[in-house]
C-alpha cells in the first residue's frame, strides 16, 4: 500500500513550483487561480522573491500548500493514494489531495490560518526549539515542570521533538534539557510558538472558518496530527483540524500507524524531502520517494 505525505512550514525555497508552472498548463492555471484568490501574486514571491519574503507565515503556508496540491494534481504523477497524512500545514494539502476539500477552499483556509497564526505570534512573542537525543517522556516532564508556557509541539521521529512556548519558557526548558543530556537543544527560526496554547486566538479564528467550509467524504483515510488516527468522517476531520493549532503534531505515531495499516512505501509530495528522512528514522525498511513532475 502507498501512503502520500505532505510537508509543512520550513520546506520552502526560492524557485519552488516554477518548473510546474512553466511545463504544465494545468499547473499554470491553478497557480494563476491562486494569485486571484489570494489577492497578490504569490507566484512572484515563490519563483523569484527573497528568502525574507518567503519566510513570512502568510506567504510560506500558502506557497507550500500550492506546491504540494498542484504537484499532486498534474497529469503524469499517477497519484493514487491508499492513505494520506500531512505535517502540520501539510494536513490541509493532504485533505485537498484526498478530495475532502476543494483546491479553492483549502487555499482560502490555509491563507486564513496563516494570517491568524501571524497575528497570534505578534500578540505574544514566542518561539520553538528542536530537542535531539532524549526520550519523549523526559522532554514532556521537563516542559511540565517549567512555570512558563512550554509544551511538546512536534513528535517528529524517535529522539527528535520540537518544543513550543514563550521565549522565557523555551530558554528555561533548553537549560534543563541540556542538563538532562540532550545532544542538541536549539531555537528554531520561526515566527512563534506553533502548536501551543499561544495559538489559542488563532484556533478560535480558524474554527469559524472551518465550520463555514464544506468538507466531503475523502477517497482515502487521512491520518491526522492530533491523534495519529485515520479519519474519513468529515465532521471528525474538521474537529481535529481545529484542535491541531494548539495540539502537538504526532508525526512519529502517525507513521507507525500507517505502517501498521499496511503502508510499505511513502511518497513525499511538495518541496524538499524532510518527511522522508523522518520516516526512515521511524522505520528503515519502508520505501520513501519524492513525487516528481
What's the rounded Cα separation, in Å, for the pair 41 and 201?
28
- Domains contained in the chain, number: 2
In a domain, 33, yes or no: yes
Q: Which pLDDT does position 62 carry in this prediction?
A: 96
pLDDT for residue 291: 80
Above 90 in pLDDT, residue 22? yes
Catalytic residue among 67, 111, 157, 195: 195
In the residue annotation, 88 being an active-site residue is answered as yes
Q: 88, 93, 164, 231: which one is catalytic? A: 88
In a domain, 192, yes or no: no
Residue 77 has pLDDT above 80, yes or no: no
Q: What is the pLDDT of residues 192-202, one digit of tens each?
A: 899 999 999 99
Q: Are 63 and 16 in contact, with CB atoms under 8 Å apart?
A: yes
Q: What's residue 30's pLDDT?
A: 97
Residue range of the domain that includes 279: 2-122+197-290
pLDDT of residue 57: 83
**Does 145 qualify as catalytic in the annotation?**
no
pLDDT of residue 80: 85
In CATH, what number is assigned to the domain containing residue 144? Answer: 3.30.70.250
Do both 138 and 215 map to the same domain? Answer: no
Q: If you average pLDDT over each of 6-10, 133-137, 185-189, 270-274, which comes out highest?
A: 133-137
Whether 271 and 245 have beta carbons less than 8 Å apart is answered as no
Contacts of 161 (CB under 8 A, 6+ apart): 130, 131, 134, 136, 139, 152, 153, 154, 155
DSSP 95: H
Question: In the predicted model, is pLDDT for residue 79 greater than 90?
Answer: no
Q: Would you state the pLDDT for residue 223?
A: 98
Report yes or no on whether pTM surpasses 0.85. yes
Amino acid at each position: 500500500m502507498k501512503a502520500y505525505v505532505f510537508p509543512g512550514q520550513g520546506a520552502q525555497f526560492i524557485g519552488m513550483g516554477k518548473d510546474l508552472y512553466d511545463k504544465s498548463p494545468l499547473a499554470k492555471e491553478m497557480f494563476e487561480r491562486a494569485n486571484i484568490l489570494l489577492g497578490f501574486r504569490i507566484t512572484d514571491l515563490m519563483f523569484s522573491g527573497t528568502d525574507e519574503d518567503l519566510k513570512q507565515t502568510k506567504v510560506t503556508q500558502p506557497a507550500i500548500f500550492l506546491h504540494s496540491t498542484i504537484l499532486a494534481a498534474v497529469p503524469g504523477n499517477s497519484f493514487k493514494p491508499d492513505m494520506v497524512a500531512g505535517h502540520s500545514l501539510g494536513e490541509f494539502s493532504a485533505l485537498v489531495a484526498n478530495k475532502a476539500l476543494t483546491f479553492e477552499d483549502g487555499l482560502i483556509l490555509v491563507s486564513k490560518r496563516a494570517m491568524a497564526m501571524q497575528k497570534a505570534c505578534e500578540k505574544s512573542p514566542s518561539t520553538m526549539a528542536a530537542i535531539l537525543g532524549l526520550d519523549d517522556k523526559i522532554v514532556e516532564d521537563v516542559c511540565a515542570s517549567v512555570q512558563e508556557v512550554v509544551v511538546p509541539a512536534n513528535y517528529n521521529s524517535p529522539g527528535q521533538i520540537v518544543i513550543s512556548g514563550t521565549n522565557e519558557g523555551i530558554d528555561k526548558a533548553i537549560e534543563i534539557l541540556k542538563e538532562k543530556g540532550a545532544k542538541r537543544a536549539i531555537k528554531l527560526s520561526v515566527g512563534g510558538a506553533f502548536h501551543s496554547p499561544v495559538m489559542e486566538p488563532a484556533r478560535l479564528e480558524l474554527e469559524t472558518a472551518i465550520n463555514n467550509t464544506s468538507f466531503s467524504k475523502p477517497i482515502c483515510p487521512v491520518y491526522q496530527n492530533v491523534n495519529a488516527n485515520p479519519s474519513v468522517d468529515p465532521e471528525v476531520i474538521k474537529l481535529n483540524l481545529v484542535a491541531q493549532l494548539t495540539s502537538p503534531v504526532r508525526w512519529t505515531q502517525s507513521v507507525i500507524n500507517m505502517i501498521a495499516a499496511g503502508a510499505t512505501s511513502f511518497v513525499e509530495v511538495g518541496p524538499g524531502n524532510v518527511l522522508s528522512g523522518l520516516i526512515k528514522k521511524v522505520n528503515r525498511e519502508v520505501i520513501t520517494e519524492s513525487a516528481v513532475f
